[in-house]
């Protein structure tokens, strides 16, 4: 099956890129990461999302998708989704918007990485950045381990537990799957 041409990845930082770029590369021929120089962060993503959404809108015939990634931080999943919709001028009705996926790791991407690496006691309110870095230094966890776990099949029970414990991760998986389906057409 021929892969679609490319996916644009708009993310806050290198850790988000470490997890999500390899995931997207399994389905898209090329993944372009929007440069974050000199700084990334949530404000960078919200500033750039309108321009990239307009690119998708204006080039509807091109085989290009957009994955927007922004940490939930204190705003959480729903708060950040609303910010993305507002910043990008999305209506939730236009056909071209199906080529845009939104991931909101809550509290942050390290929460997802820890869960995917087997830490089942995490929640979406606690900041795990330092904890994850310590686990990486110990060799117990890593972004590549989390990528492999992303693709491991989940039982219905595991999926339900994930949806309850980390609803932002469950939402992110659905968004990435939706965008990957676009790549398979």
- Cα–Cα dist 152/161, whole Å: 15
Q: Within 10 A of 133 (CB to CB), how many other CB atoms are there? A: 13
pLDDT at 167 over 90: yes
DSSP secondary structure letters along the chain: -PPEEEEEEE-SSHHHHHHHHHHHHTTEEEEEEPP--S--SHHHHHHHHHHHHHHHHHTTTS-EEEEEE---TTTHHHHHHHHHHHHHT--S--GGGGGEEEE--SS-HHHHHHHHTT-TT--SSS--HHHHHHHHHHTS--HHHHHHHHTS---HHHHHHHHHH-HHHHHHHHHHHHHHHHHH-
> Please, which pLDDT band fits residue 4 given cuts at 50, 70 and 90?
low
Closest CA to 22 of 176, 138, 165, 129: 176
Backbone dihedral region for residue 118 (phi beyond 0: left; psi -120 to 50: alpha; all else: beta)? left
33 strand-pairing partners: 9
Convert the pLDDT of each residue in 9-54 to its tens digit: 999 999 999 999 999 999 898 999 998 877 789 999 999 999 999 9
Per-residue pLDDT reduced to its tens digit, 87-117: 988 777 777 788 899 999 999 999 999 999 9
pLDDT digits (tens, 9 = 90+) for 116-145: 999 999 999 999 999 999 999 999 999 999
Q: Residue 168: is its pLDDT beyond 50?
A: yes
pLDDT at 3: 47
Q: In the chain, how long is the greatest CA-to-CA distance?
A: 47
């Amino acid at each position: 099956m021929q892969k679609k041409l490319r996916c644009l990845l708009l993310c806050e930082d290198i850790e988000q890129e470490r997890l999500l770029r390899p995931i997207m590369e399994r389905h898209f021929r090329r993944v372009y990461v929007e440069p974050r120089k000199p700084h990334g962060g949530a404000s960078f993503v919200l500033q750039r999302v309108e321009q990239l959404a307009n690119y998708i809108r204006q080039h509807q015939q091109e085989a290009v998708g957009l994955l927007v990634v922004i940490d939930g931080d204190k705003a959480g999943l729903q708060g950040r989704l609303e910010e993305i919709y507002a910043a990008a001028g999305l209506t939730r009705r236009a056909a071209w918007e199906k080529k845009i996926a939104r991931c909101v790791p809550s509290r942050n991407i390290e929460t997802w990485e820890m869960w995917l690496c087997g830490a089942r006691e995490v929640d979406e309110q606690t900041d795990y950045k330092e904890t994850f870095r310590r686990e990486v230094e110990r060799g117990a966890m890593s972004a590549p381990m989390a990528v492999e776990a992303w693709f491991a099949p989940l039982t219905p029970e595991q999926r339900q537990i994930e949806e309850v414990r980390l609803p932002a991760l469950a939402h992110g998986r659905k968004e990435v799957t939706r965008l990957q389906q676009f790549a398979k057409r």
